[in-house]
Amino acid sequence: MINPAELTILKKALDTLAEGFADLPDFESNLDTSAMERVLQDVAVRMRDNYPYHHPRYAGQMLKPPHAVARIAYMLALWINPNNHALDGGRASTALEKECIQAIGAMFGLQDPLGHLCGGGTMANLEALWVAGRLHPGKKVVASEQAHYTHGRISEVLALEFAAVPVTHAGRMDLEALEPVLAAGDVGTIVATLGTTGIGAVDPLPEILELARRFDVRVHVDTAYGGYFTLGSKLNSAARAAFDVIAEADSIVIDPHKHGLQPYGCGCILFKDSSVGTLYKHDSPATYFSSAELHLGEISLECSRPGAAAVALWATQQLFPMDVDGDFAHSLDQSLLAARAMWDRVEQSDNFKALMPPELDIVIYAVNGADAATISERASEIFERAASKNLHLALLELPIDMVRHYWPELIANRDTVRVLRSCLMKPEHLAWLDDIWQVLEATVHPLDDA
Ligand SMILES: *Cc1c(COP(=O)(O)O)cnc(C)c1O
């Protein structure tokens, strides 16, 4: 779990950092190190009460460990603790954040987008919908039924009306359902999700953009989870087509803390048209003094923000440039291939039923059985049993109609079906698939005996 080289690298980097402040008079903080050590031992023991997120046997929720370089850069930055609200609070880390934003924009094919990092996808989507609401006051926000649950709530916070658009059996926004909604004339913004959080479905962005132009509606792309897959080379053709036109959307959300190897607290919002920056105008008298250059707080809803998040992301982007033929892109391909390989095994198994094929690296599978209630219970049992064998999965409730599209004989004695879900986000998952599958199959046999 812990590579001691990390601590050596951190110490060397801290020494270099400290040299930059060597001309200050000596100053050392007083630490009661033995008391600290006692407390930290307690913390370590308490923190054992967690699933092993760092290990390939954790194949459940959307959790990917931050890369060591991100962890170390973040820790290093804590000795400065910069605040990326204003240049006064974090000059160096603000410059790094601006470079990160340019690089993420370039990944999507955007030149000079307006954007910044923020606490996460929810905060980033809030900014996107806030801007959308300012530009289309009184008009609705629509997103698919499989869009992230926070879009409805964010709309509530912003006092914007929200409506959910039905999805196809594969979980993508249904264009035939979208068109009449737009034709009603009261929609201001469509949220297109490229990689839904539940099943990883990719909304048909080219067609959504076309409809949006016809009805003069804004398009916001929520690709908090899926965004980095644009670098991959294994996408199916519909997903590829969607990722290829992201730059035509008005705003984009991506979470470096999902697939970008960052610790939590790193979301990102980008706007194609930088003139939306004027909407953020405020006149706090206290904050900006040091420069006429852009302070990121001038284009952000949050005030204080951790500069450390930008430092960590910048370091990661140096080590893993976002190139289509780089190691980072390759590792995303591996995750997607792992999800497809797992789906193939599910399809060949008598114990499980394959549902929609994975579009990204989330695979959904049902336990075999006659009816929706039984297989839902069995999913929970398998989840528990696998956990007791140190294989950690996730559960998801899907609408019965979506499941029955892939499994027409299933008896519908329940409105939803509980299925198993694995986010195979770690590059190691492909190599661990045999092991994961073995444990999974072994959890089923006690069910047959029962
Ligand atoms: C995770 C996610 C969000 C929410 O992001 P947080 O970083 O958890 O706040 C929003 N949309 C999508 C598609 C997501 O996957």
- Mind listing the pLDDT tens digit of every residue in the chain (450 residues)? 899 999 999 999 999 999 999 999 988 889 999 999 999 999 999 999 999 999 999 999 999 999 999 999 999 999 999 999 989 899 999 999 999 999 999 999 999 999 999 999 999 999 999 999 999 999 999 999 999 999 999 999 999 999 999 999 999 999 999 999 999 999 999 999 999 999 999 999 999 999 999 999 999 999 999 999 999 999 999 999 999 999 999 999 999 999 999 999 999 999 999 999 889 887 766 666 666 788 898 889 999 999 999 999 999 999 999 999 999 999 999 999 999 999 999 999 999 999 999 999 999 999 999 999 999 999 999 999 999 999 999 999 999 999 999 999 999 999 999 999 999 999 999 999 999 999 999 998 766 554
CB neighbour list of residue 411: distance below 8 Å, 6 or more residues apart:
370, 371, 372
Which stretches within 144-264 are classed as H helix? 150-157, 175-183, 205-215, 237-244
Sorted by where each begins, the domain ranges of the chain are 78-319, 327-449
**What is the spatial distance between Cα 184 and Cα 90, in angstroms, rounded to a whole number?**
47
Give the SS3 label for residue 234.
coil
The two structure tokens encoding residue 78: 């804590």
The one-character DSSP state at 2 is: -
| The CATH homologous superfamily of the domain defined by 327-449 | Aspartate Aminotransferase, domain 1 (3.90.1150.10)
Which residue from 197, 202, 243, 266 has its CB within 8 A of the most atoms of ligand 1, so it is best to mutate?
197
The one-character DSSP state at 252 is: E
Residues with CB under 6 A from ligand 1: 120-122, 125, 148, 150, 193, 197, 222, 224-225, 255, 258, 267
Q: Which of 58, 15, 24 is nearest to 432 (CA)?
A: 58
Residue type at position 353: K
Residue nearest to atom 3 of ligand 1 (CA): 121
Name the helix (H) or strand (E) containing 339: helix 327-348
CB neighbour list of residue 145: distance below 8 Å, 6 or more residues apart:
164, 165, 166, 167, 399
Residue with tokens 């939590």: 264
The two structure tokens encoding residue 28: 């050392």
| Cβ contact 242:173 at 8 Å | no
**What is the spatial distance between Cα 96 and Cα 313, in angstroms, rounded to a whole number?**
9
Q: Which of 287, 303, 265 is nearest to 118 (CA)?
A: 265
**CATH architecture for residues 78-319:** 3-Layer(aba) Sandwich (3.40)
Sort 282 into a burial class: Cβ within 10 Å, 0-12 / 13-18 / 19+. Answer: exposed
| Gap from CA of 224 to ligand 1 centroid (Å) | 5
Name the helix (H) or strand (E) containing 275: none
| Beta partners for residue 419, in sequence order | 396
Q: Which atom of ligand 1 is nearest to the CA of 264?
A: 7
Q: Which atom of ligand 1 is nearest to the CA of 148?
A: 11
Q: Which atom of ligand 1 is nearest to the CA of 125?
A: 10
Q: Which atom of ligand 1 is nearest to the CA of 123?
A: 9
**What is the spatial distance between Cα 194 and Cα 245, in angstroms, rounded to a whole number?**
11
Residue with tokens 């046999």: 445
